[in-house]
Structure 1
Amino acid sequence: MTSAEILTTEGELVRAGSEPESVSWQQAMRRAIRSSLHLREQLGLSTSTESIPGISLAEADFPTFVPLEFLARMRPGDPCDPLLVQVLAAPEENREVAGFTSDPVGDGPARIAAGLLQKYHGRALAMPTGVCGVHCRYCFRRQFDYSDTADSTDPATDNMRPAWEPMIERLRESPEIDEVILSGGDPLTLSDGKLDRLLTAIESVPHVRRLRVHSRMPIVIPQRVTTELTTRLRSSRLTAWMVVHCNHPQEIDTAVELAVGRLVDAGIPVLNQAVLLAGVNDDAEVLESLCRRWVDLRVQPYYLHQLDRVAGAAHFEVPLQRGRELIAALRDRLPGYAVPTYVTEVADAAAKVPNGF
């Protein structure tokens, strides 16, 4: 094995900078890396014994999960690779830092039914699953209790309907809600069959008009954007939007370009939201490149989020003033439609809070 190759969990060689052999998205989920030490080994990085206890403690709190499709875009031998930094468990996660909590955005108090949150007027956020296609170490829901999500009901029979019923019933009782946001977890980790049944249930609520799908899957496992998925979203009576999550231009390879293109070509508007992360994208050139890549692909840069202050993620935080400076630099370099809105999510606020100048 050369330094430009990665040995996968199934003994498959993957050349760095290229995608592994194409498999179904379900197979991609099954063969994902599940250990930070293994991840470091495959990238030719040090696995010093003194760091193992801290890494193990971090992984006990929030397990590692990295698809090979994402791994293949990382630079072997580079511990500061911006994709690796997002997913590599680190001892710093174990530090207690004032102001960093288990629920920084107030998800708990916003729960109005099993698997359903409402924070903002006219919108409800449904969490049909707690499963994700990648575990990002800065995730604000890394300590969220997903025990009442719909996908936890009966995996043996693929039957989610009993767990849907309280959520759908609450939507029926709330005529002010005209938009449902599918989040999680990641809703695109549901099979096309489950997703179809979920959409059918939401479509049965007459006052719901729009559907927003928030997903990292088109980025980390782009083959998830199947013909069945795009056809179902296009045929919905709801106006469907896709919001992807991508933080660095290195995440966008040919497979991602094609996946996003399939969505846009199907008439589904695609937005991107990113999180401002120290050591990943706290640089004007990086953010400019990210925004340019997206608008070239017909994707709207939507939000740049200030880090949600979840316990275990303090080492990712960028000072607010630095974020403002970066947005000012983007405004100087890009057309207005290519500049994301820099926001903070504040618990109990009526909307995302813009981080003005």
Structure 2
Amino acid sequence: MIQRTPVRIEARDTSHLPEHGTNSPENQSWQTILSQSVSNPEHLLDRLKLPTETWLEGAKNGHKLFSIRVPEPFIERMEPGNPNDPLLRQVLPIADETVVLPGFVRDPLEENTAIQTTGLIRKYHSRALLMVTGQCAINCRYCFRRHFPYGEHKLSRDDRNRVITALSASPEINEVILSGGDPLAVNDRLLSQWVDLLDTVPHLKRLRIHSRLPVVIPQRVCDDMLAWLNRTRLQKVLVVHVNHPAEIDQATRDAFKRLKQAGVTLLNQSVILKGVNDNAGTLSELSEVLFDAGVLPYYLHAFDPVAGAHHFDVSDTDAASLVRQMLETLPGFLVPKLVREVPGETSKTPIPAI
């Protein structure tokens, strides 16, 4: 029998939050919310009523290696006083990040070897990744690109033209994946320009967007974004990234609904993370909550061994066992595919359930 972890979605202590008013997130633009994200470890600890004498030194040391960034709507879903809150664990730097272990490397997917031109990564036969920006709305501590040299991939107008030229010369590519960073951290004027350019490449069929923003700042799904989504001729797929059911609240559901009304197919990818979602009850609940919100569970990624994040690692054997338990209680379409990305392979590598 699977023991389901109770999921905190509605009921919570809100005494740590600012009172609703003109400065509350629901009354602000997504750009304002993004600009006001917490970027100081001490501030986050204070907001969540966690003892600085216990957590601050490790948080500061981890912050020096990979800076903290957490937007207000995501903080509002955390449980104050709980250092093991699954949302907090994803964003709070800790002392373990400074430990160097063999096998955990700066570029675990060897993406630097797959760069075709500035901003364009070719790892797969029919798909190309377009690195629109290095900026994210939230800095996840387990990110496999936490060491990626984004400064070398800032796209000029000439770079943009070279990307379109490269895509036009590759008729086998039928799908472009907007990635980053988080592509939706870019303003809609620039995204609209990109989509208009991609529309001119005749053999492109699909536009896929990988983003955490509709989850961590639901206000990002605004009229300007929906305008360019509605205008493109390309099939539209948005892959959100949700690791725990407590990440989804009513504002997130509303954002998903607006996207679906614009004809966007919604999928989710998760990473299996120790101390966050490494039990079958949480993963099963996540699938149910996602589907209720109009999102189909897509991939469950094995942890990529990136330097500074070894404390999140879950073995493939344990991950496969969890998926086997999910298969016993969920319909097949709610069980995401457990995969690992192996450098040099032309697709994700499935990990069989055991």
| 1:227 match | 223
Between the aligned partners of 1:196 and 1:120, the Cα distance in structure 2 is 25
Matched, 1:103 2:107: yes
Which one-letter code corresponds to 1:142 in the other structure?
R
1:244 aligns with 2:254: no
Match of 1:27 among 32, 37, 51: 32
Question: Which residue of 153, 162, 175 corresponds with 2:158?
Answer: 162
- The residue that corresponds to 1:157 in the other structure is none
Counterpart of 2:134? 130
- Which runs of structure 2 are paired with 1:143-292 in the superposition (5 Å)? 143-150=147-154, 153=156, 161-292=157-288
Q: Is the 8 A contact 1:20 1:72 kept in 2?
A: no
2:292 partner amino acid: D
Tell me which of 84, 96, 114 is aligned to 2:88: 84
Match of residue 342 from structure 2: 346
The answer on whether the counterparts of 1:234 and 1:240 sit within 8 Å (CA) in structure 2 is no
| Counterpart residue number, 2:144 | 140
CA contact (8 A) 2:287 2:334 kept: yes
- Aligned partner of 1:158 in structure 2 is none
Give the Cα–Cα distance (whole angstroms) in 2 for the partners of residues 309 and 125 of structure 1.
21
SS in 2 for 1:259: helix
What CA distance in whole angstroms lies between the structure 1 residues aligned with 2:321 and 2:206? 34
User: Which amino acid in structure 1 is aligned with residue 215 of structure 2?
Assistant: I
Once the two structures are overlaid, the 10-residue window that deviates more, 335-344 or 52-61, is 52-61
TM-score (norm 2): 0.92
Q: What amino acid is aligned across from residue 64 of structure 2 in structure 1?
A: A
Aligned in 2, Cα 1:135/1:216: closer, same or farther, shift over 3 Å? Answer: same
1:38 aligned partner, one-letter code:
H
1:61 aligns with 2:65: yes
Q: TM-score if structure 1 supplies the norm length?
A: 0.91
Is the partner of 1:242 in helix, strand or coil? strand
Identity of aligned residues (%): 43
Structure 2: 5+ residue stretches without partners: 1-12
Q: Could you tell me how far apart the structure 2 residues matched to 1:246 and 1:294 are?
A: 9
Conservation of the 8 A alpha-carbon contact between 1:58 and 1:91: yes
The alpha-carbon deviation at position 167 of structure 1 amounts to 1.4
> Among 301, 308, 314, which residue is 1:312 paired with?
308
Alignment deviations for residues 4-61 of structure 1 (CA, whole Å, 9 cap, x no partner): 4236xxxx4479xxx7443110001111100122101110001117x54443232122
Does structure 1 conserve the Cα–Cα contact (< 8 Å) formed by 2:183 and 2:209?
yes
**Distance (whole Å) between structure 1 residues aligned to residue 322 and residue 344 of structure 2:** 27
Q: Measure, in 2, the Cα distance between the counterparts of 1:304 and 1:196.
A: 30
- The answer to whether 1:299 aligns with 2:279 is no
1:5 matched to 2:1? The reply is: no
RMSD (CA atoms): 1.6
Deviation beyond 2 Å, 4+ runs, structure 1: 3-7, 12-15, 19-22, 51-57, 148-151
Seen in structure 2, the aligned counterparts of structure 1 residues 229 and 268 have a Cα distance that, compared at 3 Å, is same
Please show how residues 324-335 of structure 1 align to structure 2 within 5 Å. Answer: 324-335=320-331
Task: Determine the structure 1 residue equivalent to 2:10.
Answer: none
Letter in 1 for 2:159: A
What does the per-residue CA deviation read over 1:240-259, in whole Å, with 9 as the maximum and x for residues that have no partner? Answer: 10000000000000000000
